[in-house]
Structure 1
Amino acid sequence: MGEEECHKEAKQDPNLPESSAGNSSLRKAIDFLSSLISLSHSIKVFPVKWQMIRTKLEELNSGLIALENCDSSENPAILGLISGVMVTVKECYDLARRCVDLSYSGKLLMQSDLDVISAKFDSHSKKLSEFYNAAILTRGFALVVSRPCVGACKDDMRFYVRDLMTRMKIGDTEMKRQGLVNLHEAVVEDKKYVKVIVELGDIVNVLVNFLDSPEAEIQEGAAKVLSVVAGFDSYKGILIGAGSIAPLIRVLECGSEFGKEASARCLQKLTENSDNAWSVSAHGGVTALLKICAGGNRRTELIGPACGVLKNLAGVEEIRRFMVEEDAISTFIKIVRSRDEVVVINSIEFLQNIASGDELIRQMVVKEGGIRALVRVVEPRSSCSFKAREIALRAIENLCFSSTSSVGVLLNYGFVDQLLLLLRNGEVPIQELALKVAIRLCGTSEEAKKAMGQAGFMPELVKFLDSKSFEVREMAAEALSGMVLVPKNRKIFVQDDRNIGLLLQLLDPEQENSGNKKLLLSILMSLTSCNSGRRKIAHSGYLKNVEKLAEAEVSDAKKLVRKLSTNRFRSLLSAFWHS
C-alpha cells in the first residue's frame, strides 16, 4: 500500500483525526499516533498489553517529532518508514476500536493480534534508530521539547522524559549526550522526575547500558543521572536489579576522571546498604577503589566518594581483611592529611570502621601512624572544620582509649595540650565535645590524669562548674572528681584558693543552678587527703553550706563534716601533747 492510499484509508476512518491537505505525511503520522495514544487510555480490556503498546507508541511518536527538525525528512527511505507507520496505525486503530466496543470474536485471537501489532511498532522504532545511526538523518534542532516548568503535571513530566528517552535511544552521540544533560538538569531541579524515571522503567536500563558506551561523555552523563536516583533509598533496589554495579565499576577502572567521580558517588549511595557490599567486591570494586585512593595525584572530588564507598564496605569482615592485606591502612592514614574536608572525614571514618571490634587492626592503625595523623586534624590551628575535628576526636576515643599503651602514644604526641586549647578557645559545640573527651581520657590511666593536671585542665574545668548548661556542669564535675584522685593533682588544685571557694559556694542548698552536689562533695572529700586542702576547706567562709547539707541529712555532707571534725580534733591533741 502506497503513502497516498494509506492516507486515504486513514482519512476514511471516523476515529482518526482530521488533518488539513497541506500537512506533510510526517505531521499526519504524528497526529494519528497522538490520537491513537489518547484512544488507548479509554481501553479497559487487556490493560497490560495496551500499556506495552502505548509505551511503544509514545516512543515512536517522540522519534517522529524529532524528525520534523531534521533536514532529511523527505528522504525516500524516511517516506517509506512513515508510510509503514501509517499502515500499522490504521491496523491498531481497528483493534483499539474493537477493544473499546468489546466487539472482538475471542480473547486469545485478540491477544495474538495485539502481540503482532506491538512487534510492528518495535520494528518501526528499530528502523528509525538505524536511520539515525547510519547518519541518513541530519539534525536541524535535536531537542525540540522544552522542559515543563516547576510544578507541571505528571503527564507533562512523563512526556518530556519519554521524549528524552527516545532521543537517547535512537539519536546519534550528540543527541544522546544532550539528552543526558537535560535529564540530569531535570532530576537535580525537581526530584519528582526521579520517580517518573523509575516508573517508566526502561529508561533505567538505557542509562545502565550507557555506562558501557565508548563515549566518555555518555558514560559520565548516565552515571550522574543514576547517582541522583541512587540517593533515594526506595529506588536503590531497582538500580541493583538493573545490573548497575558491574558497569559502574568498569567506569571506575577505565572511564574518564569525571566518569569515575560520578560512578564513585553512585556506588557510595548504593553501598550505604551493606547488602550491596558483596556485589561491589565480587566485581573487583574494592581493588579499583583502593587504586584510586592510593593515587596521590587524583582529584579530591574523586578520592572523597571513593573513600566513602570503602568506608561503607569496611563493615564486612571478609572485605575488611582483604583491604588490610592490600595495605589500605597506610593508604588511608596518608590521605587523612588531605586538605579536602570530604576526603579527611571519609578517610577517618574508614579507619574507625575497619578497626571497629578488631584489636589487631586497631594496633596496626596505631603502629602505622594513625594517632599522629588524627592529632593533627584536632590541632586548633589547623584549617579543619568543626565536623572534621569532631570525627577525629571520636576516632581517637574509639582507637586509643581502650589501651593504656595507645593512650601513652597519644600523650607523647601532645594530644592533652590540643584538647586543652579546644576547651579554652573552641566554639561552644567543640568545647562540649572536648569536655566529653576529657572525661573519658581521665578514666583511661593514671598517667593521663597526671598529664591533664600538669597541663592546666583543672582551672578550666572549675570554670565550667558554673555553666548555664546542667549537662556541662555534670561533665566538668565528673572530670574533676577523677583528676583529684591523683595526689599530685590535689596539690596543684588547692594552690588556688578560688578553686575550693567556688566548690563550697556551689553547695549552697538554696542555689538551684549548681553542679552535681554528690560529685562536688566527692571532690572535696578527696581534697581532705591533702593537708593544705583540708585546712582551706575548714577555714573557708562557705563551709556553712556543707554543714547545712549535713543538717539536712545529706550523707556525703555528713561524712565530709565528720572527716573535717576528726582532723581538727587530732590537730588539737597534737598541739596539746607537743606543748
Structure 2
Amino acid sequence: MIATMGEEDCHNEEAGQDPKPLESSTGDSNLRKAIDSLTSLISLSHSVRVFAVKWQLIRNKLQELNSGLIAVENCDSGENPAIKGLVSAVLVTVNDCNDLARRCVDLSYSGKLLMQSDLDVISSKFDSHSKKLSEIYNAGILTQGFAIVVSRPSIGACRDDMRFYVRDLMTRMKIGDAEMKRQGLVNLHEALVEDEKYVKVIVELNDIMYVLVNFLDSSEIEIQEGAAKVLSVISGFDSYKGVLVGAGIVAPLVRVLECGNELGKEASARCLQKLTENSENAWSVSAHGGVTALLKICAGGSNWRPELIGPACGVLKNLAGVEEIKRFMVEEDAISTFIKLVRSRDEAVQMNSIEFLQNIASGDELIRQMVVKEGGIRALMRVVEPRSSCSFKTREIALRAIENLCFSSTSSVGILLEYGFVHHLIFLLRNGEVPIQELALKVAIRLCGTSEEAKKEMGEAGFMPELVKFLDSKSIEVREMAAEALSGMVLVPKNRKKFVQDDRNIGLLLQLLDPEKENPGNKKLLLSILMSLTSCNSGRRKIAHSGYLKNIEKLAEAEVSDAKKLVRKLSTNRFRNLLSGFWHS
C-alpha cells in the first residue's frame, strides 16, 4: 500500500512540523483506529467456522468499508462532522461485531437462531455505513488530494492479492467522486489487459459487475466510456457472457450507442459484437432498439471512425441470421448501406460488411437478387481484382461471398464473366496464400459447372496449365479438386485442343496413373480427362505414343474399368497395331 503526500505536507515534514493541524488529530486518530479495527476484525472473521455464508457476506462488507475508509484517510477533511460521526458509528459497530465473532469462534452463543438474527443486523449496519460514506463522497465534502493508492499486484501474484486490489477499486468506484470512479475504471481496465486472470476475480466478486453495468448510464461520459471498455474485455470470455447478460448489460449498451461519445460507442459495439456471437442474445439487442442504433451508425459512414463502424457492422452481421430482424434491416435499406461499406478502406469494416451481405442473403432468393441489383457483385469484384489493395484474407471472404451469392443464377454468372471474374480468379490461384488458393480451386470447380461459356473463358484465361501444376500437389484434396476442375474444362472441344498442344500435359497425366504410386486419390478423374482427350485426333495420338502408356495397360490388367474403357476407345482406331494383344480380351 503506497501513501502519496501533497507537496505542502512534505515541506512541513522537512521543517520538523506536523503535516496536519493539531485540531484534526483526534478525528484522524479515530479514523486510523477504525481502519485498524476493521483490519483486525477481517482477520478474526477467517477463524470463524460456523455460519460460514453469513460471515463471508459480512467479511465482504467489512473489506468494502475498510477500502472506503482507507481512501478517505489522507483526504484533507479536517474536523468534518460527517466524517467524525461516521467513524464513531463504525467503531461502535466494529466492537459489536468483534464480540459476535469471538462468541462464534468460542461457540459460546446461546442459540443458533438468535446468533443468525444478530449477524443479519450487524450486516445491515455495515451496509448503512458504506451507504453513508458514499453519500459523503457524492456530496463533495472531501477533497481527494492525498488519497492512498493501493498498488496493483505484480504479474503472478496470488488470487487473494488480486481480489484485494479489485475490491479496493470497486469501493473507490462505488463511493468515490467522478474522478475517483474514472481513475478506478482506468486502473481496472489496465489490470484486465495485463492479466486476464483478473476477469475471473471480477466475476467472482459479483457486485462489481452490477456497478460497471450501472456506470454505462452515468451522466459522466468518461465514466460511461471506461465502464464500456472494461465490460468489452470481459465479454470476450465465452463463460462470462451469460453473467453479463444476467446483469442487464444489453439495454445500457444500446443507450451508449445512442447517446455516448465515440469511444464509448466503440467499446459498446465491440461488447455487443462478442455477446451476439450467441444468437440467443439477438432478440435482446433488437428489443432495446439496438438494430436501429447500429444501422444509423453504419449509414453514417464517414462521420464515424472505422473502429466504430467495424464492430457495428459485426453486430448486425451476427443478427442477420434471425428472420424477423433480417426483414426489418432490409426494410431499413441495410443492403444499400452495406454495399457502400464494402468499398471501405478499413479491413474490419470490409470483412464484416461482406459477411453481412452473405448472411442476409443466405437461403433467400429475393434478397440475393436485391444484393445483385443494387451493385453487390461489382462491389465484391473490386475487392478480389488484382489491383486491389485488400489483404488476401479480405479477398478470401469476398470470393466466398461471390460463390454463395452468384453461382445459383445463370444471369449472375453472366455478370461475373462480363466483369472479368475469370481473370481475377486465376490471379488468386497463382498468387494467393494456400487457403485462398484452395478456395479458388473450389470456386473454379463450381464455375465449370455453371455454363459452357464459363468453361471457354477459363480455358482462354490459362486455367488448365495452373490446374495441371496442382495435380502433383502433396495434398490429396488439392489434387482431387484440380482434377475435377480440369475434367470439367476438357469437355469443351476448344479447351481439349488447347490442352493437348503441350506435350507435357498428357505425359504428366499418364505418369500420375502409375499403379505403384501410393494413394494417388484421383485415378478416376484422371482417366476421365484422358477419355475426353481421345475425342480429338491429336489427343489420341499423343496418348498412344507416350512413354507412360504402360501405366494404362497395368491398370487395365488390374481390371480397373475406366482404364479398360480407355483402352477399348484407343483400340478402335488406326493405332490398333501399337496396342498389346490383351486389349482385345
Same fold (TM over 0.5): yes
Distance 2:63 2:85 in 1: 20
Amino acid at match of 1:205: Y
2:541 aligned with 1:535, yes or no? yes
Aligned residue in 2 for 1:476: 482
Residues 238, 427 of structure 1: alpha-carbon distance in 2 compared, 3 angstrom cutoff: closer
- Code of the aligned partner of 2:390: C
Amino acid in the other structure paired with 2:487: S
1:304 — aligned with what?
A: 310
Which of the residues 444, 447, 451 maps onto 1:441? 447
- The 5 Å alignment of 1:195-206 reads 195-206=200-211
Q: Deviations over 1:13-48 (max 9, x none)?
A: xxxxxxxx9982211111100111111122223223
Moved more, 114-123 or 31-40: 114-123
Summarize the alignment of residues 124-139 of structure 1 with structure 2, pairs less than 5 Å apart.
124-139=129-144
Identical columns (%): 87
Contact 1:67–1:73 (Cα < 8 Å) also in 2: no
* 3-state SS of 2:572 partner: helix
Write the mapping of 1:94-109 to structure 2, written as runs, cut at 5 A.
94-109=99-114
Unaligned runs of 5+ in 2: 1-25, 579-585
2:237 is aligned to 232
Inter-partner Cα distance in structure 1 for 2:28 and 2:131:
25
Q: Is 1:216 aligned to residue 221 of structure 2?
A: yes
1:178-228 Cα distance to aligned partner (Å, 9 max, x none): 000000111111111111111111100100000000111100100111111
1:123 maps to which residue? 128
Q: Structure 2-normalised TM-score?
A: 0.91
Does 2:382 match 1:376? Answer: yes
Q: Residue by residue, what CA displacement relative to the aligned partner does 1:431-488 show, whole Å, maximum 9, x if unpaired?
A: 2221222112112222221221121111211122223333222221111101111222
CA distance in structure 2 between the partners assigned to 1:157 and 1:82 by the alignment: 27
Residues 514, 44 of structure 1: CA spacing in aligned structure 2 closer, same or farther, 3 A cutoff? closer
Contact 1:506–1:515 under 8 Å retained in 2: no
Aligned to 2:436: 430
> Which of 518, 527, 537 is the aligned partner of 2:524?
518
SS of the equivalent of 1:339 reads coil
- Contact 1:271–1:313 (CA under 8 A) maintained in structure 2: yes
Aligned residue type for 2:415: V
Q: Does 1:402 align with 2:408?
A: yes
Matching residue within 166, 170, 175 for 1:170: 175
Which digits, 9 at most, give the CA deviation of each residue in 1:367-424, with x for residues without a partner? 1111111121112332212211111111111111222222111111111000111112
Residue deviations 1:156-196, cap 9 Å, x none? 11111111011001111100000000001111111111111
CA contact under 8 A between 2:392 and 2:432: conserved in structure 1?
no
What is the CA-CA distance between 1:67 and the residue it aligns to?
1.3
1:340 paired to 2:351: no
Query: Which residue of 412, 417, 428 corresponds with 2:423?
Result: 417
1:547 to 540, 548, 553: 553
Distance in 2 between residues matched to 1:73 and 1:47, nearest whole Å: 39
Q: Which runs of 4+ in 1 moved over 4 A?
A: 511-515, 569-572
The question of 1:287 aligning with 2:299 is answered no
Task: State the one-letter code of the partner of 2:535.
Answer: S
The 3 A distance-change label for structure 1 pair 538 and 30 is same
Q: Which residue of 2 aligns with 1:503?
A: 509
Secondary structure, aligned partner of 1:306: helix
CA distance in 1, matches of 2:217, 2:412: 48
- Give 1:347-366 correspondences, 5 Å limit: 347-366=353-372
- Tell me if structure 2 keeps the 8 A contact 1:355–1:362: yes
Deviates more, 1:380-389 or 1:255-264: 380-389
Q: Does 1:485 align with 2:497?
A: no
Where do residues 458-477 of structure 1 align in structure 2 (5 Å cutoff)?
Answer: 458-477=464-483
Distance across 1 between alignment mates of 2:46 and 2:266: 42
Residue 81 of structure 1, CA deviation: 1.5
**Which amino acid is the alignment partner of residue 559 of structure 2?**
E
Q: Measure the CA separation in 1 of the matches of 2:508 and 2:111.
A: 96
- Indicate conservation of the 8 Å contact 1:466/1:515, yes or no: no
Residue 275 in structure 1 maps to residue 268 in structure 2: no
Distance 2:169 2:193 in 1: 16
Q: Is the 8 A contact 2:34 2:91 kept in 1?
A: yes
- Greater displacement, 426-435 / 211-220: 426-435
Report the 3-state secondary structure (helix = DSSP H, G, I; strand = E; otherwise coil) of the residue aligned with 1:138.
coil
- Counterpart amino acid of 1:263? S
Partner of 1:59: 64
Alignment size in residue pairs? 552
Q: What is the aligned partner in structure 2 of residue 386 from structure 1?
A: 392
| 338-347 vs 109-118, greater mean Cα deviation | 109-118
Letter in 1 for 2:175: I
Give the Cα–Cα distance (whole angstroms) in 2 for the partners of residues 175 and 225 of structure 1.
16
Which of 562, 565, 570 is 2:568 aligned to?
Answer: 562
Cα distance in 2 between the residues matched to 1:157 and 1:442: 61
Rounded Cα–Cα distance in structure 2 between residues aligned with 1:71 and 1:138: 6
In structure 2, distance between residues paired with 1:132 and 1:56: 18
Aligned residue type for 2:243: I
* More displaced stretch, 441-450 vs 221-230: 441-450
**What is the rounded CA distance, in whole Å, between the counterparts of 1:250 and 1:456 in structure 2?**
55
User: Hey, what does 2:6 align to over in structure 1?
Assistant: none
What are the Cα deviations for residues 526-574 of structure 1, in whole angstroms up to 9, with x where unaligned? 11112332233233343333223223322212211111111227999xx
The partner residue of 1:145 within 136, 150, 154 is 150
Compute the displacement of 1:287 (Å): 0.4
Helix, strand or coil for the counterpart of 1:176? helix
Q: Secondary structure at the match of 2:93?
A: helix
Residues 27 and 79 of structure 2 are in contact (CA less than 8 Å); yes or no, is this contact kept in structure 1? no
Structure 1 counterpart of 2:336, from 325, 330, 337: 330
For residues 239-291 of structure 1, the C-alpha deviation after alignment (integer angstroms, 9 at most, x for no partner) is 11111100000000000000000000111111111111000000000000011
Cα distance in 2 for partners of 1:559, 1:45 equals 88
CA distance in 1 between counterparts of 2:49 and 2:381 reads 69
The letter of the residue matching 1:477 is A
* Cα RMSD (Å): 2.0
Alpha carbons 1:375, 1:413 under 8 Å: kept: yes
Residue matched to 1:3: none
- Contact 1:335–1:343 (CA<8 Å) still a contact in 2? yes
Whole-angstrom CA distance in 1 between matches of 2:195 and 2:453: 57
Cα 1:221–1:553 shift into 2, 3 Å: same
The 10-residue stretch of structure 1 (214-223 or 401-410) with the greater mean CA deviation from structure 2: 401-410
- Alignment partner, residue 157 of structure 1: 162
Change beyond 3 A, Cα 1:513–1:121? closer
Distance 1:439 1:486 in 2: 14
SS at match of 1:95: helix
Alpha carbons of 1:100 and 1:515: their partners in 2 closer, same or farther (altered >3 Å)? closer
The CA distance in 2 between the partners of 1:480 and 1:439, in whole Å, is: 8
Q: Distance in 2 between matches of 1:48 and 1:428?
A: 57
Structure 2 contact 544–575 (Cα < 8 Å) conserved? no
CA deviation vs aligned residue, 1:63-118 (integer Å, no higher than 9, x gap):
11111221115423312221111111111111222222222223333222222222
Inter-partner Cα distance in structure 2 for 1:505 and 1:439: 23
Unaligned 5+ segments in structure 1 are 1-20, 573-579
Does the 8 Å contact 2:27/2:84 carry over to 1?
no
Structure-2 residue corresponding to 1:194? 199
Name the residue aligned to 2:14.
Answer: none
